[in-house]
């Protein structure tokens, strides 16, 4: 069964740790406007992405960590830190891809119902399914990112680094991070922290 939820309220956008990160995201976008059109486009995309955890019903900690990860990854790119620090790119792909994959899984579960919501997982098979789907989402998003990097290098900025070893390393790191994220989603505390869809409790009571 697919659940429907209302759009995040303005108050929800700015409350809690994730809300503070979204406010920082707005400030970053204003700074990017001064830096140029490429940075402006980058941080506009990031700011749009910061709203996704609310639609996914993500726990407050994941909401904030996801936002911090996106902003950190964007600034590392804008400031050319990936070229200056050799290992930073792999670390970012490991951590940020895991965070994004976790939020993507929760969004899929909450908005479509095609996968089991973590709070409803009861068996080992279902736990394994959560991990497998989360890894699949992480790898799919990683591939999309690598394609974006290639297109950016070819048509926007040749300074964007692309290469066989870089691509493979990024995909492996993203897959590992997504696996960790999937395991986290099946942990007891994580399942309890996920916000249930609006009306889910009411629907459960009506069936008893």
Distance CA(180)–CA(175), nearest Å, equals: 9
Q: Does residue 207 lie within any of the structural domains?
A: no
Contact of 53 with 105, CB cutoff 8 Å: no
Q: Does residue 86 lie within any of the structural domains?
A: yes
> What is the reported pLDDT for 207?
42
Q: Does residue 2 lie within any of the structural domains?
A: no
Q: Does residue 3 lie within any of the structural domains?
A: no
CA 131 to chain centre: 15
Q: For 18, which DSSP code?
A: H
Q: Does residue 1 lie within any of the structural domains?
A: no
pTM: 0.85
If one counts the domains in the chain, the total is 1
Exposed, middle or buried: residue 207 (CB in 10 Å: 0-12, 13-18, 19+)? exposed
Range of the domain at 134: 10-199
Q: Does residue 4 lie within any of the structural domains?
A: no
Q: Does residue 146 lie within any of the structural domains?
A: yes
- How does pLDDT run across 20-64, given as a tens digit for each residue? 999 999 999 999 999 999 899 999 999 999 999 999 999 999 999
- How does pLDDT run across 84-140, given as a tens digit for each residue? 998 999 999 999 999 999 999 999 999 998 999 998 998 999 999 999 999 999 999
Q: Does residue 60 lie within any of the structural domains?
A: yes
How many helices (H) does the chain have, and how many strands (E)? 11, 0
């Amino acid at each position: 069964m697919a659940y429907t939820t209302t759009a995040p309220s303005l108050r929800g956008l700015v409350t809690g740790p994730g809300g503070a990160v979204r406010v920082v995201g707005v400030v970053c976008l204003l700074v990017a406007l001064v830096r140029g059109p490429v940075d402006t486009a980058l941080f506009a995309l990031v700011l749009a992405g910061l709203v996704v955890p609310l639609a996914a019903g993500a726990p407050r900690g994941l909401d904030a960590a996801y936002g911090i990860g996106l902003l950190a990854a964007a600034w590392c790119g804008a400031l050319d830190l990936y070229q200056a620090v050799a290992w930073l790119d792999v670390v970012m792909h490991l951590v940020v891809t895991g965070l994004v994959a976790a939020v993507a899984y929760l969004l899929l579960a909450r908005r479509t119902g095609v996968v089991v919501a973590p709070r409803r997982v009861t068996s080992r098979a279902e736990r394994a399914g959560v991990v497998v789907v989360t890894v699949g989402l992480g790898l799919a998003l990683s591939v999309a990112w690598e394609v974006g990097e290639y297109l950016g290098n070819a048509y926007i900025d040749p300074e964007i680094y692309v290469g066989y070893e870089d691509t493979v390393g990024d995909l492996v790191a993203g897959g590992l991070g997504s696996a960790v994220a999937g395991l986290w989603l099946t942990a007891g505390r994580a399942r309890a922290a996920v916000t249930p869809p609006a009306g889910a409790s009411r629907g459960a009571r009506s069936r008893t």
